[in-house]
Amino acid sequence: MATKFLYLFSEGNANMRNLLGGKGANLAEMTNIGMPVPQGFTITTEACTQYYEDGEKINDEIQAEIMEYIDKLEKITGKKFGDLENPLLVSVRSGARASMPGMMDTILNLGLNEQVVDVIAKQSNNPRWAWDCYRRFIQMYSDVVMEVGKKYFEQLIDEMKEKKGVTQDVELNADDLKTLASQFKAEYKAKIGADFPSDPKEQLMGAIKAVFRSWNNPRAIVYRRMNDIPGSWGTAVNVQSMAFGNMGDDCGTGVAFTRNPATGEKKLMGEFLTNAQGEDVVAGVRTPMPIQEMAEKFPEAFAQFQDVCQKLEDHYRDMQDMEFTVEHGKLYMLQTRNGKRTAAAALKIACDLVDEGMIDEKKAVAMIDPRNLDTLLHPQFDPAALKKATPIATALPASPGAACGKIVFTADDAKEWAARGEKVCLVRLETSPEDIEGMVASQGILTVRGGMTSHAAVVARGMGTCCVSGCGAIKMDEENKKFELDGKVYQEGDWISLDGSTGNIYGEAIPTIDASISGEFGRIMAWADKYRQMGVRTNADNPRDTAQAVKFGAEGIGLCRTEHMFFEEDRIPAIREMICSDTVEQREKALAKLEPMQQGDFEAMYEALEGRPMTVRFLDPPLHEFVPTEEEDIALMAKDMGKSVEDIKAIIAGLHEFNPMMGHRGCRLSVTFPEIARMQTRAVIKAALAVQARHPEWTMVPEIMIPLVGELKEFAYVKSIVTSVADELIKAAGSDMKYKVGNMIEIPRAAMCADDIAPHSDFFSFGSNDLTQLVFGFSRDDAGKFLDAYYEKKIYESDPFARLDQHGVGRLIANACRWGRSTNPDVKLGICGEHGGDPSSVMFCHDIGLDYVSCSPFRVPIARLAAAQAAIKNPRATESKCRRAM
């Protein structure tokens, strides 16, 4: 049977999201449960992938099916494309599986041409409306289909308003709009070299192709990369008959949420504009009125709308974000979806829904986007400093959080300033989807125009970035990169602070403080812990980070990098002394100075862990990292070491490597200088014995991890050093303390030979940063230079250092786990690279059976939640070793 590429709304349902996209599936669902939805059909995401497979062409089969469905829609609506009695007008709307607000394109009022405009102008006795529709159509079609600059059209509108001495679009009359329409068409012809298409079917085919193409526009690609959405999904296209919100004052259009998307409060929140269409609300061109005012203007439609809201929430069992239009007092639903929300709102809504009996704990855990939690873990304003500060203005609290940064006026500047380490706040008249990269780079966003549902607000909430919008009090001078507020001028580079929870704007820098897990956050995390099957540890090298991580729920340390301790000012002379040593005795003498310091570090870490386990990794980086490069510092070092400058230079030259990442580092250091491994073993074991003596209630089992192992004999050699030193110390202390020796797997050879190593190793920890580098054969520090080109050419979709390359590196890890377990079923398996805190990578780790992930302290709650979601989605037969041991 031939593939079916089109579905009427009445043929689909909410479960067909993969095929129909989120918007299409929900339009179908709303149709089926009897809501007032203008009818239409959906062209599937498979048609989109087919379009790309066919070399960006709509093939004959799909074209024929589209024509068939136009016929069907004409029958359903009783209207006909291009008809001069009863013309059919439609919108053409994109809609992917995952919602990507504002990232792709929509065209309204398609089907209009000179004759049809005249007809509807006369029929409706409302020429202003008819011409408004037409000029909007030309504008959107030109922009989307032909990529004719939308700036220029806006300029024409501005000129027209100026000429007429008005400030609002709605004040332009039919003749003005008619003039604009012909100006637009002239512009189209000048740019494209052909007349604006008048045949509705030709218009429709152009629009469908444009939506397919918009799947690959640059902002959609950036958005997908940020949100882990695969490029292979494609977008569906919805063709829907129009409902008109711009036919007069008894019409309007709005956007609403069944609960507050910023706080989660159970109260309808939304915005409404009378005599308006489509993007007018979200574009932030006019500032809309709160939805509650709609009750006075449109009591019937509002009552019906409230009823719809209730039904939709009950149906989807989640907060809904809806778009609707009122045409002559009658309500039409145009969209519903599970609303995007801030992390705080997500937690409150999930808990409320559990308490309301709408969902269970598992569903609550599953409905929270782990990436969002980040915003709750990052700093808020210091209340003491905040008390002293006076806001210079207050606007809409569009996306919560605290932001403090220097003012910049363009998205490009934001990117550039942030790249050189500056904290910035992006101040814009209004944001457009093209600004997305600049928004990502900013601490906060402040806009002059736009409401709570404006583009800036929606995108900022999705990213967890603070946003204050609609600050009309700002007199903006974008050209000269400054603005005036309350009589004061603010220039580029001036400090500003934004409170996205209150909408307050401060003309100064306000310090921020750390957050904590409590209340609803704590409830959700407790549920997550109940359902997850992997352990979650942290990467930490000092007691402060350790304590922070424990507060965030870390069950131990999965990676303690000992070199970070050596870099401290009082340690580095001893390390340098060791490097400069000519004999083993000299080296041992230098190491003896380091030993008590290192032991002290470990004791402090163990105390901060309060009995939780810690994996200590032996010295890893190449030694040249510990010697100076500047002439001046070299002279100082020579003096400290009692050697000549020439000697020091010779030593430094001797440390030079062509490729330090692949040089004399990791366990290779222990092979050449076994005394380093001896010293580190003594420090770990003595620290554990001392802490055990102070805390008999804890069971200390120190874990020593050998980095950069590639071969069993190499590991066995270093391990023998560790065990001989450790056994002797433990025996001398009259203790029966157990300890573990394991290795990192970060060299592909170790992964390939995991079955050799496993019988001798207590645990493997996949060092996915180095492993990724070595599997790909490019270094993390150099990849930045060419990865962008790879994204552009669609060779890679995401940074393999941020998100685990499951197909390549991930497969190697999965195999190494299998091979390792085949010879040692008890080998404990974990991951300690950056990926340990990336939700999609954590889910992968669950699926391949790792016992634990280890990540930076601020990612611990994210990993806990992601691990729980993975376990809820795909439960394992048994709890991992790590969890059983807890």
Catalogue the active-site residues: 455, 832
**Is 746 near Mg ion (CB under 5 A)?**
yes
Cα distances (angstroms) measured from residue 133 to each of 334, 558, 643: 18, 61, 84
| Smallest distance from ligand ADP to CB 185, Å | 22
By C-alpha distance, which of 141, 152, 147 is closest to 199? 141
CA 805, 806, 807 angle in degrees (round to 5)?
95
Of 198-206, 425-433, 639-647, 744-752, which part binds Mg ion (CB under 5 A)? Answer: 744-752
Rounded-to-integer distance, Cα 86 and Cα 123, Å: 9
User: Which residues, at least 6 apart from 297, have a Cβ–Cβ distance to it below 8 Å?
Assistant: 252, 274
Amino acid at position 884, single letter? R
**Is 106 near ligand ADP (CB under 6 A)?**
yes
| Smallest distance from ligand ADP to CB 273, Å | 10
Rounded-to-integer distance, Cα 510 and Cα 504, Å: 12
Dihedral sign from CA coordinates of 701, 706, 710, 716: negative
**Partner interacting with residue 770 (select from Mg ion, ligand ADP, none; CB below 5-8 Å by kind):** Mg ion
Report 770-789 residues binding Mg ion (CB under 5 A): 770
**Is 334 near ligand ADP (CB under 6 A)?**
yes
Among 323, 746, 770, 838, binds ligand ADP (CB under 6 A): 323
> Nearest residue by C-beta to Mg ion?
770
**Is 581 near ligand ADP (CB under 6 A)?**
no
Decide whether 89 or 496 has the Cβ nearer to ligand ADP: 89
Rounded-to-integer distance, Cα 230 and Cα 237, Å: 18
Rounded-to-integer distance, Cα 677 and Cα 514, Å: 37
| Smallest distance from Mg ion to CB 708, Å | 6
**Is 200 near ligand ADP (CB under 6 A)?**
no
**Partner interacting with residue 767 (select from ligand ADP, Mg ion, none; CB below 5-8 Å by kind):** Mg ion
**Is 243 near ligand ADP (CB under 6 A)?**
yes
| Smallest distance from ligand ADP to CB 30, Å | 13
Decide whether 334 or 651 has the Cβ nearer to ligand ADP: 334
By C-alpha distance, which of 88, 108, 114 is closest to 195? 114
Helix (H, G, I), strand (E, B) or coil at 272: strand
- Going by the DSSP 8-state scheme, the letter that residue 216 receives in this structure is T
CB 111 within 8 A of CB 81: yes
Of 404-412, 442-450, 545-553, 765-773, which part binds Mg ion (CB under 5 A)? Answer: 765-773
**Is 800 near Mg ion (CB under 5 A)?**
no
Beta bridge pairs of residue 537: 854
CB 398 within 8 A of CB 469: yes
Of 101-109, 497-505, 581-589, 797-805, which part binds ligand ADP (CB under 6 A)? Answer: 101-109
CB 445 within 8 A of CB 455: no
| Smallest distance from ligand ADP to CB 21, Å | 10
Among 767, 830, 857, 861, binds Mg ion (CB under 5 A): 767
Of 162-170, 240-248, 710-718, 816-824, which part binds ligand ADP (CB under 6 A)? Answer: 240-248
> For strand 466-469 and strand 235-241, is the pairing parallel, antiparallel, or unpaired?
unpaired
**Partner interacting with residue 746 (select from ligand ADP, Mg ion, none; CB below 5-8 Å by kind):** Mg ion
**Is 563 near Mg ion (CB under 5 A)?**
no
Rounded-to-integer distance, Cα 578 and Cα 392, Å: 57
Report 321-380 residues binding Mg ion (CB under 5 A): 323, 335
**Is 91 near ligand ADP (CB under 6 A)?**
yes
Binding letters toward Mg ion, positions 690-729, x by CB under 5 A:
----------------------------------------
**Is 253 near ligand ADP (CB under 6 A)?**
yes
**Is 240 near ligand ADP (CB under 6 A)?**
yes
Decide whether 113 or 325 has the Cβ nearer to ligand ADP: 325
Rounded-to-integer distance, Cα 261 and Cα 344, Å: 9
Helix (H, G, I), strand (E, B) or coil at 543: helix
Q: Outline where 739-779 has alpha helix (H).
A: 748-752, 754-757, 768-776
User: Which residues, at least 6 apart from 327, have a Cβ–Cβ distance to it below 8 Å?
Assistant: 243, 244, 245, 247, 251
Q: How many residues line the site for ligand ADP (CB under 6 A)? A: 17
**Is 335 near ligand ADP (CB under 6 A)?**
yes
Amino acid at position 459, single letter? V
Cα distances (angstroms) measured from residue 541 to each of 565, 661, 675: 7, 21, 22
Phi/psi of residue 338, nearest 5 degrees: -65, 120
Decide whether 93 or 668 has the Cβ nearer to ligand ADP: 93
**Is 271 near Mg ion (CB under 5 A)?**
no
**Is 242 near ligand ADP (CB under 6 A)?**
yes
CB 882 within 8 A of CB 535: yes
| Smallest distance from ligand ADP to CB 701, Å | 54
**Partner interacting with residue 504 (select from ligand ADP, Mg ion, none; CB below 5-8 Å by kind):** none
Question: Which strands make up the sheet holding 40-43, listed edge to edge?
Answer: 6-8, 40-43, 235-241, 90-96, 106-110
Rounded-to-integer distance, Cα 118 and Cα 212, Å: 31
- Per the document, the length of the chain is 886
Report 258-287 residues binding ligand ADP (CB under 6 A): 278-279
By C-alpha distance, which of 26, 501, 473 is closest to 238? 26
Of 237-245, 336-344, 393-401, 669-677, which part binds ligand ADP (CB under 6 A)? Answer: 237-245
Of 51-59, 766-774, 850-858, 863-871, which part binds Mg ion (CB under 5 A)? Answer: 766-774
Buried b (16+ CB within 10 A) or exposed e, 770-792: bbbbbbbebbbeebeeebeeebe
Decide whether 59 or 77 has the Cβ nearer to ligand ADP: 77
Binding letters toward ligand ADP, positions 21-40, x by CB under 6 A:
-----------------x--
By C-alpha distance, which of 463, 177, 252, 492 is closest to 342? 463
Of 98-106, 159-167, 552-560, 652-660, which part binds ligand ADP (CB under 6 A)? Answer: 98-106
Beta bridge pairs of residue 393: 505
**Is 139 near ligand ADP (CB under 6 A)?**
no
| Smallest distance from Mg ion to CB 334, Å | 7
| Smallest distance from Mg ion to CB 282, Å | 8
Of 236-244, 360-368, 549-557, 563-571, which part binds ligand ADP (CB under 6 A)? Answer: 236-244
| Smallest distance from Mg ion to CB 770, Å | 4
| Smallest distance from ligand ADP to CB 34, Å | 18
Among 93, 128, 219, 341, binds ligand ADP (CB under 6 A): 93
Dihedral sign from CA coordinates of 630, 635, 636, 642: positive
**Partner interacting with residue 402 (select from ligand ADP, Mg ion, none; CB below 5-8 Å by kind):** none
| Smallest distance from ligand ADP to CB 665, Å | 50
Residues at the contact surface with Mg ion, assessed by CB under 5 A: 323, 335, 746, 767, 770
Residues that bind ligand ADP (CB under 6 A): 38, 91, 93, 101-102, 106, 108, 240, 242-243, 253, 278-279, 323, 325, 334-335
